[in-house]
Structure 1
Amino acid sequence: MTELDWPEILLRLGAATLAGGAIGLNRDLHGKPIGLKTLGIVGLSTATVVLLAVQFAEPGRMTDATSRVIQGILTGIGFLGAGVIVHESDRFRVRGLTSAACTFLAACLGIACGVGQWKIVLLALAVAFVLLTIGRRIERWLHRALGGKEDPHRPETTPPAGPRNSG
């Protein structure tokens, strides 16, 4: 059995909460239906459950029980992510997929924090912020460069140039 000391537990739970909260802050700043508190709690809760599983494992070894705990977390997070997705019946559009994916990411970061994999946490968080920050611009550029179809309902697409109606 692995016995973690208080500072290590605080570090793992705190890092998971901060990582999830940082992803949530990005969603919140973009006016999305999930934010800092929700994803911070997702990170904290997943790290808590993983820490519990790790406590009963041999040092440096992943057990079947720990693996099943992680599988259960990720299955459950799918339901939470589905709750973030909002269907607009008048336009047959699905919204909230990125926020649902961020929920899944916050859970994965919580798992990585729970097992103390700091390099993975830092790199995943960095890549996520790059993707969340410039991903839409890259997507639009690739659509234009490759002749893809732009979504006319997306507010991020630039309207055609022409005279403005000031009525």
Structure 2
Amino acid sequence: MDQIVADMFPPTQIAYPVIFARFIGAILFGAVIGLERERKDRPAGLKTHIMVSLAAALFAIISIESVHMPGLDQDAVRIDPLRVVEAVTAGVAFLAAGTIVLSKGEVKGLTTGASLWLSGAIGLALGFGHWMIGLFVTSAAFFVLYVLGRLEHGRRQSEVEKE
């Protein structure tokens, strides 16, 4: 039984409270973007953005921890954390592409796809412990989606009224 408990709580490079804080940060930062998409009733909203950000944070943390796992820290085994960044980027891009559709000659969902991709990047930033980078990019994303989105909507309304 002791072996099972030891296996459930192995020693980590990053302390468990820090890992959990990074996950909570990824959830909160993903939620900021997801709430804005949810408010606009987009197909990928709050839950999807949180899940993408949280998954990316998990991949980042696992890549850090795997470098320090017994048996994997030998010279014969090469673990490259940057491959995790590439894998998350490709995986989220595939998911984001699914939100983009061509309807009646118009491309729709492009911004939502981009916001999913950005949520993955923010999750990676948090997973690797780059809180300030994640916070800045989340703030910038909110500005782009909400503030510029309102300006864009106002401009479109003006054009419609002129016609």
| Alignment TM-score, normalising by the size of structure 2 | 0.79
- 1:50-65 mapped onto 2 (5 Å cutoff): 50-57=60-67, 65=80
Which of residues 25, 36, 43 is equivalent to 2:35?
Answer: 25
Q: Give the number of equivalent residue pairs.
A: 143
Residues 17-69 of structure 1: CA deviation (Å, up to 9, x unaligned) = 111122111100011111111110001111001100011347xxxx8610011
Dislocated runs of 4+, deviation >6 Å: none
Is 1:109 matched up with 2:119? no
- 1:160 deviates by 2.3
Q: Deviations over 1:76-132 (max 9, x none)?
A: 1111001111221xx211100000000001000000000000110111011111111
TM-superposition CA deviations, 1:114-159 (whole Å, max 9, x none):
0000110111011111111222355579xx8xxxxxxxxxxx4332
Q: TM-score, normalised by structure 1?
A: 0.77
Contact 1:86 1:94 in 2 (8 A): yes
User: Comparing both chains, which one has the higher relative contact order based on Cα–Cα distances under 8 Å and sequence gaps of 6 or more?
Assistant: 2
Moved more, 132-141 or 11-20: 132-141
What is residue 141 of structure 2 aligned with on the other side?
128
1:75 aligns with 2:85: no
Higher helix share: 2
Give, as a single letter, the amino acid of the residue that structure 1 aligns with 2:136.
L
Q: 1:21·1:37 contact (CA, 8 Å) conserved in 2?
A: yes
User: Equivalent residue for 1:148?
Assistant: none
The gaps in structure 1 that reach 5 residues or longer are: 145-155, 163-167
